[in-house]
Chains A and B, each alone.
Chain A
Amino acid sequence: MTYLAKPKLLSADAPKNALGYTRRDYEGAISTLCAGCGHDSISASIVQACFDLDIEPHRVAKLSGIGCSSKTPDYFLGNSHGFNSVHGRMPSVLTGAALANRNLIYLGVSGDGDSASIGIGQFAHAMRRGVNMTYIVENNGVYGLTKGQFSATADKGSKSKKGVINSDNPIDLAALALQLGATYVARSFSGDKEQLVPLIKGALCHNGPALIDVLSPCVTFNNHGGSTRSYDYVRQHNEAVNRVEVILPRDPIETSYPPGSLRRVVQHDGSILHLRKLDIDYDPSDRIGAINHLQERQALGEIVTGLLYVDSSAQDMHSHLNTVEKPLNQLGDAYLCPGSKALDALNALLR
């Protein structure tokens, strides 16, 4: 969070999207995170994704918990309503917001401390409940705001800045999301914008709970030799299963990719995910296969990135609850209050 608004210095030839917005229209306040923080790269990717998708910023509701990652919604989409809730409890607040208005786009931003420790219960239940949201975990394996403690996603055997060895097993949030019923699960790296931006775009177009676990090195406390969340380590061990292109219905569909290396997935909103395979055997529509693949590669010391799983026919929480199409927060008195006649009839039954 910052005291300073970002100055709007706009060049005349800045590119505009279909709405006439420039990229700057998707930015927020100046980041107060450490210089080089991976989280800032993720914010930049969110800005790029929303710009590319021609999303009206005010139609996004951005929610977070507490921690370095949870500060970041202040740094993008300045014309969106934001909500910095309490530690680990963003998922329930987002769930409530989504119940109130199904027509907004919900972006939850969380951290590994926020989601894998105090908030793991809410994380799990939001996934299984089918909340239509993009849930980004900015995962650096460490508590930055309290200066360097291991988080629950830190790898066993990894070393803290002070030289302490982590003796606990890590929680893999992507694997967990797969088990819990998330219908869009991806992992990426904050330093790989080419991979991350399309993954965010795909998630924003997805109709259901979409998790993106983004490894995001903490330059101050977790970017050293013994860390398995450092820039160098992740770059060296990154094993991408695919590269994603998101093509909106209004865009011409490209067919120039080499045959056999492409997979088309049409999502509910008509957007098309083009998955360019790097691992020829990888099938992103196979939930169990995705879980197995993650575990097999993890055993080899690899960090699997890319779109791990997508269910293009997913239905969201509102479908499960059979709620009306019109947002609940827009129903007026006449639609909500049964009135005095109904009460008179009820009184008669209660005698």
Chain B
Amino acid sequence: MTSAQSIESSNDFVIKFANVNGSGSSSANELFARAVMRMGVPVAPRNIFPSNIQGLPTWYEVRVSEAGWLGARGGCDMMIAMNPQTWDRDVAAVDAGGYLFYDSTKPMPASKFRDDITVLGVPLTAMCNREYTDPRQRQLFKNVMYVGALIALLDMEFSVAEALIVDRYRGKDPLIQANVHALRLGYDYVRAHLPCPIGLTVRRADAVGDRIFIDGNSACGLGAVYGGATVAGWYPITPSTSVIESFTSYCRKFRTDPDSGHARYAAVQAEDELASIGMVIGAAWNGARAFTATSGPGISLMQEFFGLAYFAEIPAVIFDVQRGSPSTGMPTRTQQSDLLACAYASHGDTRHVLLFPENPYECFTFGALAFDLADRLQTPVFVLSDLDMGMNESLCKPFDWDDSRRYDRGKLMTYEDLEAGKDFGRYLDVDGDGIPYRTIPGTHPTKGAYFTRGTTRNAYAKYSEAGTDYVYNMERLRRKFDTAKALVPAPILKKAAQPTRIGVIYYGSTSPAMAEAGALLEADGIHVDTLRVCGFPFCDEIMQFIADHEQVFVVEQNESGQLRSLLINEGEIDPKKLVRVLHYDGSPITARFISGRIADALSDRKISPIRKVAS
């Protein structure tokens, strides 16, 4: 053990696990994160993994924050260095005064360590080799063993981790015993051989409350179940695949007919993304609630169908879990770079409704809402999540549902309506909101049938090449888009503690980092009003927010400032007024990055937005 001026912190630190992909470490690392959470201390874990099945480096970062900051913090107070391949960079990544935990079975030269960090060695491999003969067991239980060691080093309650193992393997006693044994081996070794606790500790707290711990993709899948989706057409792609896996898993639980055992849903793995959205469109045309889940490359492939659904006015829900782009980009890294591709998807003058959840709770609520909006507006609705939100578990408020809520199926012309002699023009704007009535195939023997097509037609769905019919249709679609402004979730305004002329606009998974960045800026005497955009089309409050501030920073996770471009384009805003704050290296944006960029920009521009009011 090397001594250094050690970091001392309770319930506020970042610990990082460096592993080899495919070594079975993720469940052990998650066990640690959950144990911290069960002690009442908020955690924000993030899995940083390669586009590879086995062998390449992978990291799992756990932010422990009793204050409740759930965004990535940056930096690392303790490294669990279990991957020889990345040893040098992992050692270098530890903040001065931090801690390095490693497998000390083989002696390491002094040059491989640092003087300014505390090194903690446990002979994990040797212990495993003594205890187990099976190679796979040696690997898997080594992971559990280092969790046991951490429990001791951080002064956590052993019983909490033990209870988690019992929960995880309930009904499989041999597995419970084996895992608890490995946990105990690591724990006991550290208690016997190392001074513990170290400077980093986890103390029992009450800062988690009734919050739940779930990833965004699972929440999206659950949202689709509650939103009434019955048909899913999909094609596997990282990082969206688990949306469908979650949907089918929840459907098996909730949508299996108890009498017949038959399924009240259908999920079909299509041959490609084109077919998956084609199935969604066909199903929705025929009156089912249907969706797909994909990521950037899938969005590219689906473009032609998006245009058809927009122009033929067919509901569809698309969960887009964004990843590093363009092209194949960084398939297992996060970005918010599909914004423009979704907003204006397909050729011609198309505009699509977008929803921007900030966490798993909103993945659920916006996911369910998307189906109502798609039916109400008869158009594709995109739910834009990202890898950071979608694949990492995070704390959020518990899911809730109003049992009196009924699905909004929009303007459906029924058999009775048709019998009563109501005028049915499939593209007729009866109510002035741009939304026409539709019939579902099979509704009536002689009335209400129409031909759906991507070509121009008149208000009664008859093929037409008349410019006047085309213009009528396009103007109606514009009216419909305006109608959508009032239906998408309103933006969330957070006023600064003091009046300010500086505003910040952001969306989606930037939210937790932005909340913390606001606090960091405020601590430095910089006050900013913030506005979280929750949907597109942009409602008037967003434009008013921009008008009300002298300078507005637009924080987003892509290279070109796509939200900023969309605001400028849709709101006809002077580009000078919107300042880019862009993070796009594939890692989640941090509070330090946002606050630093804003503070620097304010300093560089010699803007004097800060009114220091004497207290």
Identify the A interface with B (CB < 8 A). Answer: 1-3, 56-59, 61, 63, 73-74, 78-86, 89, 91-101, 103-104, 121-122, 124-125, 129, 317-318, 321-325, 328-331, 333, 335-340, 342-344, 346-347, 350-351
Contact = CB atoms under 8 A, between A and B. Distances in A.
Contacts of B274: 89, 92, 122
Contact of B444 (A58, A93, A94, A321): A58
Given A96-B233, A328-B231, A121 B268 contact: no
A324 B450 contact: no
Q: Which 5 residue pairs spanning A and B have beta carbons closest together?
A: A96-B282, A92-B278, A100-B288, A96-B279, A329-B287
A100 B286 contact: yes
B473 interface: no
A45 B271 CA distance: 32
Contacts of B271: 121-122, 124-125
B264 A340 contact: no
Contacts of A57: 445, 449
27 contacts: A58-B444, A81-B442, A83-B285, A84-B454, A89-B275, A89-B304, A93-B281, A94-B282, A95-B282, A96-B279, A96-B285, A97-B282, A99-B266, A99-B282, A103-B442, A104-B286, A125-B271, A323-B262, A324-B263, A324-B264, A325-B262, A329-B286, A337-B226, A343-B399, A343-B400, A347-B399, A351-B212
Contacts of B446: 58, 79
Given A93-B285, A122-B271, A122-B278, A81 B406 contact: no
A56 B449 CA distance: 13
Interface of B: 208, 210-214, 222, 225-226, 228, 230-231, 233, 250, 254-255, 257, 260-266, 268, 270-272, 274-288, 290, 304-305, 308, 398-403, 406-407, 439-446, 449-455, 462-464
Contacts of B401: 337, 339-340, 343
Contacts of B276: 92
Given A84-B451, A104-B441, A336-B255, A92 B275 contact: yes
B452 A82 contact: yes
A335 B226 CA distance: 11
A99 to B, nearest CB: 5
A338 B446 CA distance: 37
Contacts of B406: 333
Contact of A3 (B212, B266, B277, B464): B464
Contact of A1 (B228, B233, B260, B455): B455
Contacts of A83: 282, 285, 451-453
B283 A58 contact: no
A115 to B, nearest CB: 14
A85 B463 CA distance: 14
A93 B282 contact: yes
B266 A328 contact: yes
Nearest to B229: A336
A333 B401 CA distance: 13
Contacts of A2: 463
A324 B230 CA distance: 11
B417 to A, nearest CB: 15
A243 to B, nearest CB: 33
B442 A104 contact: yes
A98 B439 CA distance: 17
Given A84-B452, A89-B305, A98-B282, 14 more contacts: A3-B463, A57-B449, A92-B277, A96-B285, A97-B283, A99-B283, A321-B263, A322-B263, A323-B264, A325-B260, A337-B401, A338-B225, A339-B403, A343-B401
